[in-house]
Structure 1
Amino acid sequence: MEKTKESYVFDAQMALFLAVMSYKAYIVHDLCTIELPKHYEMKREIITDSGETFGFIAESEDSLVVAFRGTKTMDNVSSYLDVSQIPYTYVTNSGLTHRGITKIYSTFRDSLLEDINQHYSADKKLLVTGHSLGGSLAALFTLDAAVNTNFKNPILYSFASLPIADENFTKKFYKEVKNSIRVVNVHDAISNCMTPLFFKNKPLLNLPIGQEYKLNFKNRLYIQNHRILCYIHFLIKQYPIEYKELHKKYPGFFPVTSLCE
């Protein structure tokens, strides 16, 4: 008999922790190495069949973290602009998803799920995160993992995620994934204005799954309102106590965010 999937409320420490993990996914792409908090070990990079790094897996005694980065290359932009819909074939009766982003996911999906099923204990929490396009990849993976791995109760925190799927996918996601937080800045023009306008003639949803958690920060440069570094900066300001606790627990883990002042 399948265990009941426990539901959790928004956790500020977890939001801070996973926002930084999303930031680290960009660093892995650039440097192939990252500094992780103590007790965590990087297990592998998430690499497409063409050799492009899209994130990483890290493990501790009680958690497995899967983190995805957002757009870094013009090929990524081209994939994002490929807005046709295709069936999401990895989970039955799960509707249609964004073709370009789903095609990226398909290039590493099989090896990622095989690795997770073979090498990690399902007694641990599976924590999934990603920013922007990476948040959308994280959503595709989280549903897949909830159905097709031994980790039946994954926890997703996405940041500034982009449109990814139709209503049927969203309903399936709600059914299978009980813990999903979409963190979004109300002044993030890419997530809240430009992207919905771009998809206005497409029956795509902006992944309104789980609990939407709104931030409210505004920089002079609009792109700063979308950057994961600035999401981290605002979360630190909004949750100083939780930040201090994490900073003490994981010295050197947090990036410098002064550019977002």
Structure 2
Amino acid sequence: MEITRQTPPPDENLSPDSGNLTARFARGADQMMALLKTLGGARTPPCNPSFLYFRQLTPEARHKVITMLETTLGVCTEMMAEKSNPKNGGVLAWRVLKKMGFQPLSDAFQSYSEGDIVEIYNHHHQMVFASLNVFDSCSYTLEDLYCRPWIELWERDPKITALLFEKAIYVTSPECHETLFLNIPAHQVRETSSHEMLRGSVSPKIFSPVINERGDKGFLSINQVCEAAVSTGRSPQQDQTP
């Protein structure tokens, strides 16, 4: 499967910034960066101030991105006030899902182990939640992660990419009502257009559908980290970014 590279549109093709959502997203991103710095270990770079990827989303999609980011920040703050560690990805993901009105399946976290990466994606295959250890092994900006589909952010064996994409399509379909235990062996994953072009090894464990009362559907993803991410060099695309 060929991975499509997404190019931000020119400013004149962007829809109006209703309610100054870009500024709100920027504040949320700054707050998340500050939180990650407090907890230590994150290698997430700051967002590009143009926020072109965010601004090309529909107003509805922008609202949803902001809501999920602010909800994650709120739950992290609650956990820290309770002397609980927000780096516990399973607990953080569960609490964010419940806060947003999503009902995970009873076996969704059955295979979770400490250190696993937990993510939630919408039906457009864009991330709406990530456990905080994602930012220890990823050099994409928060805007990249929240506003671009996963299939263009990472490269892996084309057969595995095709299989994962097929499973992701199915798990967000009306026909899927069960957790998919993937049993995909560890394999190399490479960032395609990030600051450090990191490479590491993961083993996808599960995709599990989540849905709320409004009918919004997405899926929970859990990956085992098998090899820590290492830098392979700065992306030429990033060097050209204004």
TM-score, length of structure 1 as denominator length = 0.28
Q: TM-score, normalised by structure 2?
A: 0.30
